[in-house]
Structure formats: C-alpha cells, structure tokens
Structure 1
Amino acid sequence: MAPKVVLVTGVADQLGGQLAARLADDPTIERVLGVDTAPPSVSLASRAEFYRADIRNPRIAKLIDSAKVDTVVHAAPRSGAAFKEHNVIGTMQLLAACQRSRTVRKLVVKSTAEVYGGGAGAPAVFTEQDAPDRGGDAVEIEGYARGLARRRPDVCVTTIRLAEVIGPRVDNALTRYFSLPVVPTVLGFDARVQFAHVADALAVFERAIAHELPGVFNVGGDGVLMLSQAIRRAGRVPLPVPRAAIGPATRLAGGRVELSPGLSRLLSHGRVIDTTRLKTTFGFTPKWTTTAAFDDYVRSFRAELA
C-alpha cells in the first residue's frame, strides 16, 4: 500500500528533519506530519506540518487518529542517558497508539547497530540473525516493535539497524569525537569501524516507507576503517588511554562529546555489520562505502573550519 499520510517522529534531529522534508516533496504523499518537542533542525518543505508534541504523552494517539495516519516513522530514538525515558516511554506510547489505530498499516523504526554490543568474544561481522545484546534503549525499542508486529500482523514493521551515521553537517557524538584536536583511543587496541552515509540512510528510510519490506535490516557502507586510519584521515592526533578512561578523557578533550555505552564499545572493540540482506531482500545497495562516507564528512568539516 502506497503511503498517503506519514507521521515522522524526531524531526528536531537531522535525520528525522531531512526525511520529513524529502517526503513532503513527494507528490504521491498527501500529508507529512513532523513531531518533536523542539522545532525541526532543518527547514521543512511547505507541505510538511510540524507538531510540537511529546510522544510520551498519550495524546499522540489523537493526532494519529485525527490525521488518519497510515505510516509511522519512528526516527526519534536518541543516544545518551538523558534520553532513556524519552526513548523507552515514548516508544511504548507511540506503538500503543499504532496498535489501537484503525488506519496505521506501516511502522518504520530507526534502530542502531549498537544493539549487537561488542567485545573480545564478539563475531567479526554481525548479521541480523545474531541476538541483540542485553539491555540498552535500542534493544527495548526493537522488542516493542516485535510485539506490535505479533499483535497486529496487518501492520508492516520494518526495523533499520544503522551503522554510525556520518556525512556533511552531521552532528552527533561520533562526528564531535573525530573533530577533537586530540582524540582519545583505547591503549593497545585499534578498532574496526563502519559508517553509513546520511544520504544512504535517508534513501533506505524512503524505500522502507514506499514498499512492503517487513523485518530487520542492517545498514552500513561496504568496507571498514581502522580507528587509527580514520583519525589520520581527519587530520587529528590520537591519545591512547586505558579503556576505563576513554569516556572521561573524551569529555575533557571536548565537553560536548558524550559517549554512549554502545559507542564506547565500538571505540574499544570495533563493530562491523553484514549488509547482505539489505542488498538482496531489501533491494538497496549503498552508494557510499565506509571510507568514502568518512572522507565526505572530513571534507565538509574542513570546509567549515576554512
């Protein structure tokens, strides 16, 4: 079923805001509703409607019902301890509203490769069949999405597990980490890292919205970079510290950087995801490799400093 009325949560963030703006440019979609507690980070197209609302409030169900929303894109989950309540309680309320709705037929959920965790005994490459790590907001959010799929088999539920998103003007914990003049690393380790270009991430969400593609899909660029290589490509200087000091050292090096537990594990042990299902079952091949995505971020970062 082609979407007619789409609701996007998390439009204050770059990914959600850009997605809402792009959907509003699609003439086949009648209405696009953007929801967040703060204004969008990007200028929404004239057809996109912004609603300042907290998805933790049960009134989100009234908005879904009154607008006759048929497709919900849950792009609101954010990393960091400060967002735990918003992520978990907000998802519970939003998905409860979807379950009761008579019009919702599709749910697309933004998740993260952080659900796989990571450590000395972790697989070299994670596939969608690998069990998620215990705990973490993203693991809980995915659990609620699976519950909705069981209770409402008529709703197509697609979960997108993103590698670390990077690209021009992307502002997140990882891009702030690489922008530090001195970049703390874990002493004695050189993690393998993988990135998803923001343009590919947006294209994946657009395809999930336009087509019936239920299930869980890893999204990331082909190839990997060693953390040391990425730091050199960014023109930065590494500062090896003991693993327990990586978080405090990063905060001291630049106060705006807060490493989530999942990101800390990435920088300590690395994390690589398999994207075979994305290419075969989902029908999408990323245009940006991991290296090309990172270099595109570096070019834009240097241009901003010039």
Structure 2
Amino acid sequence: MQVLVSGITSGLGRLLAERLVAEPGVGGVMGLDDRPLYPVVPGVQFTRARADQSEWHTLLARADVVIAITSGVWPRGVAALAERSKRFLRAVYDAGVPRLITVGSSLVYGPYASVVTEQSPVRGHEGGPYGRALAFTSDYFDTLALNWPGGVLTRLRTAWICGPRHVRLVQHLAAGPVLACGYGNRRVQLLHEADAVEAILLAVRHPLPGVYNVAPDEGLPLREVAAALGHGSTCAPLAWIALRAGLRGVARPFEWARALVSGTVIAADRLRAVGWTPAYSTRRALDDTLALLPGRD
C-alpha cells in the first residue's frame, strides 16, 4: 500500500508519517506540503508544492490511499483555502485514487447549542471566514462523492487538537482568561494528537466510508478549564480574550477564539463503534499539554 499525506509538515502530519513508515502493510509513504519538511522524516519521499499546483499530480498515479490533513493547523491565507482544497479534491478525483481520507476540523459544523452528530447539517456557512471555507469545501466534496469512481471516502472531523506537537491551543487558553461573558456553561473538547493519529490509522487499516467525528468525551466546562489554568472564575468580553492572547504572543484570528469558547460538542459514537478507543480524556490531554509550557510543573 502506497500512502500520500498532504499537510505532512504539520505536527499531526509529521506524527502520522512516522507511524505510517512503521505500519505493517504500508509499502511507501509520500509527503506533500508547500512548506519544507525539516527535519526530514526517514522513509518519506517528500514533494514541496501547493495543493493547487500540478507538479505533484504524478504522485497520485502511485497512491493507493491519500490523506489530506487540515485539522490542527490554522491555515495561512484563509481566503484561498476553499479554492485550493477544491482543486486538490478534484485532482484526487480525476486520478481515480481508490481511497481518500480527509482530516478536518469540526468547525465545519458551525454554531450548535446541542451535541453534534455526523447527521447534523453543516452550518459553517454561518461562521467566520474559516468556517465558511470549510463548509464550502464540504459542499464541493458532497458533489464529487455522488459520482466518485469506485473509491472509499472517509471524512474525519476532529475536536480541538493538542499535545506535545500542538501546544498553541493551550498557550492561547493559558494566556487567559478563557471565560467569555454570555456563553453560559459551555464546554471545550480537546483531542490529544496521539488519539487523532490512531483514528487516522484505523481509517487506513480498514476502509471506513462516510463521516466520522473524532473527540474523546463530552469535554470540560469552561470554568473547569479556567480553574486548571489558574484563572479561577474570571470572566471577560470575548474581544478582550482574543486581544489579550494576541498581546501575549499567541496570535489567532478572532474567529478562532470565538469558536473555542462557543462550546460546540461533537459525539464520536460512530467511530468508537468501529474500534477507536481514545487513550486521553479532555482533562488528561489538557494536563499533558499544559505540563509542556514554560513555568508549568
């Protein structure tokens, strides 16, 4: 089995590539990204190109499985995200690749007050620029999927990812305060990067058609997250939360901060039913990442 990983220079992409190289049944791993892969991952054939460029299309003729990773990374150039994603999907479709696994953010669902399942309509169009880009890409994917040439399409939608290679999220929370006035008893779901990789590997080992949410549990109330970070019950306007994090060097768009504290919860019962068992709860994922920050025990 030959596997092509797009987005390989991300923390999640690199971790996945390291596991794939040692995975029984995987005969070769190819990597694709528009940033340099440094340091190199032994055993990975890397090609540097943007997803909307044609230089990498020859890789598709050798790929049995294509994995496209966008979750865990806030993209540069959100305005071009949807268009580049569409071109990438079209190239995979035209090449007739047997299996495609996309790893995206649950922000595609948009704002929800209730627990979100795979059957919940995509409402990212109602969010900010990133949510809209995800939603438009999902719409395009739906159109292609109707006539995909005999392939198996897997869409993984993850909660917020954290861990040793994804500390920026917890840095943002630690910059605090994390409570936004007016949001009530909302929750934060944190998915450890190791559990995210296990979900992807499961989809590599066993064809899983359709959409699967990836989250460890129902998450923690914002007040518990704030207490774990030493913020107590501090409450502040959302704009101040985003500004303060930016002043402390954790730059994220306002939409990122708003989505984080809005508390949308996704259910991963479908993925658990096919064998995925996360090793980390939201609390353990938070503690594991928090311990890596300077000045923390």
Check whether TM > 0.5: yes
Native 8 Å contact 2:167 2:289 kept in 1: no
Worse-matched range after superposition: 184-193 or 284-293: 184-193
Conservation of the 8 A alpha-carbon contact between 2:241 and 2:257: no
Partner in structure 1 of residue 283 of structure 2: 291
Cα distance in 2 for residues equivalent to 1:42 and 1:116: 35
1:209 and 1:55 mapped to 2: Cα distance?
A: 21
Q: Is the 8 A contact 1:17 1:42 kept in 2?
A: no
Q: Which is further off, 85-94 or 234-243?
A: 234-243
- Corresponding residue for residue 185 of structure 1: 179
1:145 counterpart = 2:120: no
- Partner SS state of residue 278, structure 1: helix
List alignment gaps of at least 5 residues for structure 2.
Answer: 126-131
SS of the residue aligned with 1:74? Answer: strand
Length, aligned pairs only: 290
Cα distance in 2, alignment partners of residues 232 and 206 from structure 1:
34
* Separation (CA, whole Å) in 1 of partners of 2:71 and 2:105: 10
8 Å Cα contact 2:218-2:267 kept in structure 1: no
Q: Which residue does the alignment assign to 2:197?
A: 202
**Alpha-carbon displacement from aligned partner over 1:127-150 (angstroms, at most 9, x marks no partner):** 111111142222222223322321
1:75 aligned to which of 56, 69, 77: 69
- For residues 190-215 of structure 1, the C-alpha deviation after alignment (integer angstroms, 9 at most, x for no partner) is 42111111111000001111211011
Q: Is 1:117 equivalent to 2:110 in the alignment? A: yes
**After superposition, what is the alpha-carbon deviation per residue over 1:22-53, rounded to whole angstroms, capped at 9, x for unaligned?**
11112421111111111236651x21111111
CA distance in 1, matches of 2:285, 2:72: 21
Residue from 258, 264, 275 that aligns with 2:252: 258
Secondary structure (helix, strand or coil) at the match of 1:272 reads: coil
- Taking a change above 3 Å as real, the CA distance of residues 299 and 218 of structure 1, as seen in their structure-2 partners, is same
> Residues 77, 126 of structure 1: CA spacing in aligned structure 2 closer, same or farther, 3 A cutoff?
closer
- Out of 225, 228, 251, the position equivalent to 1:230 is 225
SS at match of 1:38: coil
How much has 1:78 moved relative to structure 2?
Answer: 6.6
Distance 1:51 1:175, change over 3 A: same
Deviations 1:203-262 (A, max 9, x none): 00011112110111111112321122112213346653223444333323x233304525
Find the counterpart in structure 2 of residue 62 from structure 1. 58
Identity %: 28
Contact 2:64/2:99 (<8 A) preserved: yes
**Following TM superposition, by how much is the alpha carbon of 1:15 offset from its aligned partner in structure 2, in angstroms?**
0.3
CA change 1:289–1:184 in 2 (3 A) is closer
1:23 aligned partner: 20
Aligned AA (1:297): T
Q: Tell me, yes or no, if the aligned pair for 1:176 and 1:257 is still in contact at 8 Å.
A: no
Confirm or deny: 8 A CA contact 1:76 1:87 kept in the other structure: no
Is 2:49 aligned against 1:53? yes
TM-score by length of 1: 0.85
Contact 1:18 1:42 in 2 (8 A): no
SS in 1 for 2:291: helix
Aligned partner of 1:219 among 211, 214, 217: 214
- Counterpart for residue 85 of structure 2: 91
CA apart distance, 1:113: 1.4
Q: Which moved more, 1:293-302 or 1:72-81?
A: 72-81
- Taking structure 2 as the reference length, the TM-score comes to 0.88
Asked if the contact 2:65/2:99 (under 8 Å) is kept, the reply is yes
1:145-198 residue CA offsets vs partner (Å, 9 max, x unmatched): 3223212151111011100111223133x2221232x43531244421111111
Report the alpha carbon displacement of residue 79 of structure 1 after superposing the two structures with TM: 5.2
> In structure 1, what residue type is equivalent to 2:269?
T
Show structure 1 runs of 5+ residues with no match: none
Matched, 1:279 2:276: no
Paired position in structure 1 for 2:118: 128
SS in 2 for 1:151: coil
Cα distance, 1:262–1:30 mapped onto 2, change above 3 Å: same
User: SS state of the match for residue 252, structure 2?
Assistant: coil
SS at match of 1:12: coil
Cα RMSD for the two superposed structures: 2.4
